[in-house]
Amino acid sequence: MTGQRGRPKVAIVGAGFGGMECLRKLRNHPVEAHIYDRHNYHLFTPFLYQVATSLMQPADIAYPIHKATAKQPNGHFHHHEIASVDLDGKSVTTKEGRVDDFDYLVLALGMQPNFFGNDEIPKVAFPLGTMSHAIRLRNHILKCLEAAIHSEDRAEAERHLTFVVVGGGQTGSEFAGALAELSRQAVPGEYCELDPNLVRIVLVEGSDRLLHTMSPRTSRWARRHLESLGVEIRLGHLVKEATESVVTLDTGEQINANTLVWGAGVKPASLAEQLPGVVQEKGGRLRINDRLELVGHEGKGIYVIGDISSFTWKDEQLPAVATPAIQEGAHVAKNIAASVTHGSSAQTAFKYMDKGQMAAIGRWAAAAETGPIKLYGALGWWTWAVVHIYYLAGFRRRIGVMSGWFWSFFRQDRPIQVQLEEQLALEIPAEEGASDHVGTTRE
């Protein structure tokens, strides 16, 4: 069961932050690294909300995986969805039925939206976790603006212009801030027929504060800042029901809205749910040991990293953000290399380095916290921007994204408000001068 050149074969399923880092760190080791993903690009999720709000183009945040493997002699990309995994027989089966064996397996599958068993909400809600989600949501927002212009009466226009965002974590708060900026820029500037005062954004969060993985001070800042942008905040509330035109909260309050954006919950990708003999922890995440091996299957060379894994550090489960995924990806590569070269007892325990977290709320405003240091507003935004641009892969993308921000922020203009055909939008152009790293962090 060896790969090309008689070297052990590592199968990495998922080319997200964890999988790509693991691939890259295996570069100089005597293994063949095979990475699988259902998409042919690595997605820079921290900017997904900017695609959804017409601030960025899809290609700005999608990095072709073949570009990464082309630069890595022992790297191989398979554009396939993995339908099943045989943990004992050591093979993965693609959706098309191809069976590939492996010596080591790294599962880095990421999350999918969780609607907590509600059957009706998924039919009308707009989740924000993939590129398709972002393009669908962007098209929908632009269609709502259009529809509001042609509405027969004020109530209908209000319904088109009311956006309910569920989940006050990073995804929901960042999206609400960007949507508020979009409505402040685009409505008065380009949709002149519309009354900007009709735009209503309601952010609903079940807990008692926004950005609950960050400090309470940051939560307060985010709330104040979102409110200054006109976002209505409902803390301690849940969405109970939703139709295409009405969102009902647990208090019974009904909000007439054509848009429900779902940033409230995630659960491990479906392949992770099928694995036998695993231990599930908070959020359905899979328990791993300190070597990052899947608990229930230790000693078989099966590792689980990133969002789908549950690793306890300082008595708390690591958050489902990019930094743990990247660090775990690097550590698994190190353990596999040690195992191949010196035997499995040479593996070491994973140690997490907490680099802090960040969230951008609208134009020129972000919170960045690391240890006791907390930066807000413009200073926070510059810190956020520098870190994210650094981790965004590709020189051309970095320049494009920065110039897009500055154009849009200084000129108060969204030049890329076009409804996109999903397939066309997902064609990723070839790119020159791509950087080595693909990844981000909420540092």
Ligand X SMILES: Cc1cc2nc3c(=O)[nH]c(=O)nc-3n(C[C@H](O)[C@H](O)[C@H](O)COP(=O)(O)OP(=O)(O)OC[C@H]3O[C@@H](n4cnc5c(N)ncnc54)[C@H](O)[C@@H]3O)c2cc1C
Only segment of 36-44, 115-123, 372-380, 426-434 that touches ligand X (CB under 6 A) = 36-44
Residue 44 or 191 having the CB closest to ligand X: 44
Per CB under 6 A, 24 contacts ligand X: no
Residue 185 or 327 having the CB closest to ligand X: 327
Which residue from 9, 24, 39, 67 is in contact with ligand X, where contact means CB under 6 A? Answer: 39
Per CB under 6 A, 108 contacts ligand X: yes
Greatest Cα pair distance, the chain, in angstroms, is 74
Compute the least distance from the CB of residue 167 to ligand X, in Å: 10
Per CB under 6 A, 380 contacts ligand X: no
- Transcribe 310-333 into DSSP letters: E-EETTEEPPSSHHHHHHHHHHHH
Per CB under 6 A, 17 contacts ligand X: yes
Helix 170-189 and helix 131-149: axis angle, to 10°?
Answer: 40
Only segment of 45-53, 208-216, 416-424, 425-433 that touches ligand X (CB under 6 A) = 45-53
Residue 15 or 239 having the CB closest to ligand X: 15
Only segment of 4-12, 372-380, 393-401, 434-442 that touches ligand X (CB under 6 A) = 434-442
Q: Is the distance from CB of 56 to CB of 401 less than 8 angstroms?
A: yes
Per CB under 6 A, 401 contacts ligand X: no
Only segment of 44-52, 144-152, 161-169, 337-345 that touches ligand X (CB under 6 A) = 44-52
**Runs of H (alpha helix) within 81-151:** 121-124, 131-149
Q: In angstroms, what CA-CA distances link 365 with 181, 182, 380, 416? A: 11, 15, 6, 22
Which residue from 8, 16, 168, 169 is in contact with ligand X, where contact means CB under 6 A? Answer: 16
Per CB under 6 A, 269 contacts ligand X: yes
Per CB under 6 A, 45 contacts ligand X: yes
Residue 81 or 354 having the CB closest to ligand X: 81
- Strand-pairing partners, residue 162, are 200
Residue 199 or 321 having the CB closest to ligand X: 321
Compute the least distance from the CB of residue 171 to ligand X, in Å: 4
Per CB under 6 A, 318 contacts ligand X: no
For 296, other C-beta atoms within 10 Å of its C-beta total: 17
Reading across the β-sheet that carries 373-376, which strands appear in turn?
A: 357-360, 366-370, 373-376
Compute the least distance from the CB of residue 74 to ligand X, in Å: 20
Per CB under 6 A, 15 contacts ligand X: yes
For 169, other C-beta atoms within 10 Å of its C-beta total: 22
Compute the least distance from the CB of residue 197 to ligand X, in Å: 29
Residue 187 or 304 having the CB closest to ligand X: 304
Compute the least distance from the CB of residue 245 to ligand X, in Å: 25
Q: Scanning residues 125 to 144, which ones bind ligand X (CB under 6 A)?
A: 128-129
Per CB under 6 A, 347 contacts ligand X: no
- Among 3, 1, 45, residue whose Cα is nearest residue 20: 45
Which residue carries 């070839």 as its tokens? 430
Per CB under 6 A, 78 contacts ligand X: no
Q: Is the distance from CB of 320 to CB of 170 less than 8 angstroms?
A: no
- Transcribe 165-195 into DSSP letters: EE--SHHHHHHHHHHHHHHHHHHHHT-TTS-
Residue 160 or 285 having the CB closest to ligand X: 285
- Among 370, 365, 288, 374, residue whose Cα is nearest residue 323: 370
Helix 17-25 and helix 322-342: axis angle, to 10°?
Answer: 30
Per CB under 6 A, 323 contacts ligand X: yes
CA atoms within 13 A on the CB side of 6: 0
Assigned token pair, 295: 């608990």
Which residue from 170, 258, 383, 408 is in contact with ligand X, where contact means CB under 6 A? Answer: 170
Compute the least distance from the CB of residue 46 to ligand X, in Å: 3
Compute the least distance from the CB of residue 21 to ligand X, in Å: 8
Only segment of 46-54, 152-160, 391-399, 428-436 that touches ligand X (CB under 6 A) = 46-54
Point out the residue whose Cβ comes nearest to ligand X: 16
Q: Is the distance from CB of 345 to CB of 432 less than 8 angstroms?
A: no
Burial class, 295, CB count within 10 angstroms (exposed 0-12 / middle 13-18 / buried 19+): middle
Q: Is the distance from CB of 268 to CB of 295 less than 8 angstroms?
A: no
Per CB under 6 A, 273 contacts ligand X: no
Go through 187-203 and write b for each residue having 16 or more CB atoms within 10 A of its CB, e for each that does not: beeebeebebebbbbbb
Per CB under 6 A, 304 contacts ligand X: no
**Which residues here bind ligand X, judged by CB under 6 A?**
13-19, 36-39, 43, 45-46, 48-49, 81-82, 108-110, 128-129, 170-171, 269, 271, 306-307, 320-323, 325, 440-442
